[in-house]
Structure 1
């Protein structure tokens, strides 16, 4: 009887230990899905044909909140002209300055740039880069200015970790800026 009781206790303790064992340390980790700190956005428009470069910048050295932006250029483009558009993102709150563009390139499956002109006739954008899943990225593309007019160009960098599907819907904004747009 004593042997049966000892065996039962041993089995009970063994079963309890089996169900309460430590899990693999990586099993419950969640990826770091925080948005990047971006203090500067630089839009480089290179005119097709002439190669003339125009650069327009948004700069807010202390990031969102706090002090107002120190630079927010108006984008000025020639009517009915195509441009190669490249975009750069910086975190100038650190020394040395961190080039966030490189991080976006490395994590391109998690990012999507969206360019929305208002009115839509002022500018159209075609993506020139894609990630390994064949979804657009937007760090390189073609911007074509339409007829002369005034409006806005919304620039959004969507952070879409694990949810990117080629649309703006999933994720959150790392950047959302409304540049004034002048097509002349």
Structure 2
């Protein structure tokens, strides 16, 4: 009996340790998955009014929003395409969510010194874009959560691409507002893509019927 107790004590200690570690592991909080989840781009027609060397953008009461949704891979539902009409201007608004379905727009604005959207890939002369973001002090900043897209002329359909870039520190100082469509943004402006959204866009002639 004495010999049995000598073996039982260390076994009992080991069992207690295993049980304690298992319980400790079970009570540890789960680490949320990082990265972005779904996103939407909303296009809403506005009136562009020239004021000297800049434009004012006025709402149109009857305008109806066109909303394109994207999955975590930046892709819309199969068959998604949109028609935007030449001569018209559209306010573009981004909503982006993480995997816990929390909106990320404010994070992009708060860290505007390392975030900027690019819209490359359109045929030359087809689109014009203007950034329309403001920081907490109402100062104009170039991020691309909000902007105005003008269709300057009709074109064959192409892949519309919206990229939210997380730039390396100090890179943004060398980016101009006119770089919004720079096809070499990936190499010229070092960083990583937080969002890369794509869908088929058809810039159509004025009064053309969408389908």
TM-score, L = length of structure 1:
0.65
1:170 to 169, 190, 196: 190
Q: Deviations over 1:60-111 (max 9, x none)?
A: 3xx58xxxx56363232122201111111112x32xx111112112212220
Q: Is the 8 A contact 1:82 1:143 kept in 2?
A: yes
Please state if 1:139 is matched with 2:159: no
Q: Is the 8 A contact 2:68 2:76 kept in 1?
A: no
Q: Unmatched 5+ residue regions in structure 1? A: 1-35
Q: Is the 8 A contact 2:117 2:164 kept in 1?
A: yes
Structure 1 segments, 4+ long, off by >6 Å, are none
1:112 to 103, 109, 116: 116
Q: Is the 8 A contact 2:76 2:199 kept in 1?
A: no
Which residue in the other structure is 1:48 paired with? Answer: 46
Please state if 1:100 is matched with 2:104: yes
Distance 2:151 2:159 in 1: 12
Size of the aligned set, in residue pairs, is 140
| Correspondence 1:11-160 to 2 at 5 A | 37-49=35-47, 50=60, 51-60=63-72, 69=75, 71=77, 73-91=80-98, 93-94=99-100, 97-129=101-133, 136-149=142-155, 150-160=157-167
Root-mean-square deviation (Å) = 2.6
Distance 1:125 1:57 in 2: 21
Distance 2:104 2:77 in 1: 19
Deviation at 1:52, TM superposition (A): 2.5
Task: Determine helix, strand or coil for the equivalent of 1:121.
Answer: coil
Q: Which has the higher helix share?
A: 2
Distance 1:170 1:135 in 2: 19
TM-score, L = length of structure 2:
0.57
